[in-house]
Amino acid sequence: MHTLAELLRYAGITSHKRTLLSIRQHTTNWGRSGRGVRHKPRYTVWYDTEDNNDRIVFTFEAVLNLKRTAPEKLADIDIQISHYSGWDPVKRRLTVTHPERYLKVDGMVEGGGEKTKALWQEIIALTEGMERDDKLSSYEITFLAA
């Protein structure tokens, strides 16, 4: 699974529509004195059905290169898939939590660098067609469906 379409098919997204996307910026440090610094953004994408009775949430995370255009060489993309269902109108929340699934797009396999870079470009392109909303959070960038 090296494309976004394959991941969506694997998660069972059929009639779901993208409703919210948030980007939270983190940094990771390493080295003797912690001078090696790379950005590690976390993209969280919500897919809801029309009746809001079913929600699938994707979380993508990768260590970026210095230019912040693609994952670092040999770096993996971590993917978490969460699935919620059973809207309760009294509690006003989804009541059923399905088991979470964890995937990793391996950047160390042969040709892995190109695959992780292509997948990351697809993830970044998810913001197209969405409206930025700065009122929801002060520590992350949020986009709402247009």
Position 125 scores a pLDDT of 92
Residue environment code for 26-56, b if the CB has 16+ CB neighbours within 10 A, otherwise e: eeeeeeeeeeeebebbbbbbbbbbeeeebbb
Q: Percentage of the chain surpassing pLDDT 90?
A: 38
71-92 pLDDT, tens per residue? 888 889 999 999 999 989 898 8
State if pTM tops 0.75. Answer: yes
